[in-house]
Structure 1
């Protein structure tokens, strides 16, 4: 299993605006509807981060979901409003390890 984290570092003081857009995107079905999706915000560390976390069985599944989501007509106008709130972003792709297999 792969865990993908899209990490957005927001401009200072722009969290409330970003939260409104996240709610809008969630209600509009613009985020992937796969199992294990979460939207996180920082509690410690570098401030004003929004993290979109999703799980995929394969990297091909991630690529297909990304292409499908970005192909939705409402995605680009929403993203144009969201990205002006962001200082920078990064993506992490992590592979989950089955600890039981490591031990045996």
Structure 2
């Protein structure tokens, strides 16, 4: 099992705008939100972070998800609205061992 975390450092004061965009994306089913997917925000540490976390059985499954979902024109339009709110981002790929 692999856990993928996409971590976005939001610009100061942009959380509400981003949350509205994410809510819209979930409503329009632009993001996979199965039982293994979670959206998190910071409680301590760096402020104004938004973290998307998903689990996959294999890295091939993760790659398939990337190419299928992110390749859609509707998702690309949404992401163009999302990007101006982001200061930086990075991805963690973790392997579950227990």
**What is the TM-score of this pair, normalised by structure 2?**
0.96
Give the aligned partner of residue 54 of structure 1: 54
Q: State the SS of the aligned residue for 2:73.
A: coil
Deviations 1:33-88 (A, max 9, x none): 44310000000000000000000000000000011111222111100110100000
From the CA coordinates, give the structure whose radius of gyration is larger: 1
Unmatched 5+ stretches in structure 2: none
CA root-mean-square deviation:
0.8
Q: Which runs of 4+ in 1 moved over 2 A?
A: none
Give the number of aligned pairs.
98
Deviations 1:5-58 (A, max 9, x none): 000000000000000000010001111244310000000000000000000000
Q: State the SS of the aligned residue for 1:84.
A: helix
Unmatched 5+ stretches in structure 1: 99-104
Alpha-carbon distance between aligned partners in 1 of 2:28 and 2:85, rounded to the nearest angstrom: 20
**What is the TM-score of this pair, normalised by structure 1?**
0.91
